[in-house]
């Protein structure tokens, strides 16, 4: 009887420890989310620094449209996905591109060059042949408005 009690106690403690261990990296499988463009991974990435205080948001919607919130302006466009994570994005139509950062302006010009994407955990990589990729991270709206 004592052995059963010890086993149940140990098993209960083990379950509590596992249940309280939060997964630190969420796994995203679908491209249709809001993503924060974090950086360019290419030889010329230093030429286009990103302002750390301004999230640049790319929202991919299930109806195959996307919106882009830049430093100041916003854009809209359409996209299509295919086999093997293929991705085609049309050139975004923006309110004005004169007042945004160099990072935002480069992002506008590079989106139509994207050919494929990869999702690793909560990171989205938009691949551009012979250039590199745009690294995005899943964006939580609670960061914008913590008290909805």
Total domain count for the chain? 1
Within a domain: residue 97?
yes
Within a domain: residue 17?
no
Section 120-143 average pLDDT: 90
Within a domain: residue 15?
no
Within a domain: residue 50?
yes
Within 10 Å of residue 103's Cβ, how many Cβ atoms? 20
Within a domain: residue 112?
yes
Q: How much is the pTM? A: 0.75
Within a domain: residue 82?
yes
Q: Name the residue range of residue 117's domain.
A: 34-140
Strand 65-69 versus strand 86-89 pairing type:
unpaired
Within a domain: residue 11?
no
Over the stretch 36-63, which tens digit does the pLDDT of each residue have? 999 999 988 888 988 888 999 999 999 9
Say if residue 88's pLDDT is above 90: yes
Section 7-27 average pLDDT: 42
Within a domain: residue 89?
yes
Question: What's the whole-number average pLDDT of the chain?
Answer: 82
Residue 118: give its domain's CATH number: 2.40.128.270
Pairwise CA distance, residues 115 & 46, whole Å: 23
């Amino acid at each position: 009887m004592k052995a059963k009690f010890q086993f149940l106690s140990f098993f209960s403690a083990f379950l509590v420890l596992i249940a309280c261990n939060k997964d630190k990296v969420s796994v995203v499988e679908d491209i249709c989310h809001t993503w924060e463009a974090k950086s360019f991974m290419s030889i010329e990435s230093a030429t286009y620094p990103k302002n750390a205080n301004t999230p640049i948001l790319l929202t991919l919607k299930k109806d195959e449209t996307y919106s882009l919130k830049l430093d100041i302006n916003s854009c809209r466009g359409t996209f299509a996905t295919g086999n093997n994570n293929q991705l085609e994005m049309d050139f975004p139509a923006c309110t004005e591109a004169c007042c945004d950062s160099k990072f935002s302006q480069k992002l506008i010009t590079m989106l139509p060059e994207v050919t494929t994407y990869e999702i690793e955990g909560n990171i989205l990589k938009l691949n551009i042949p012979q250039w590199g990729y745009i690294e995005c991270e899943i964006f939580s709206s609670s960061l914008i408005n913590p008290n909805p």
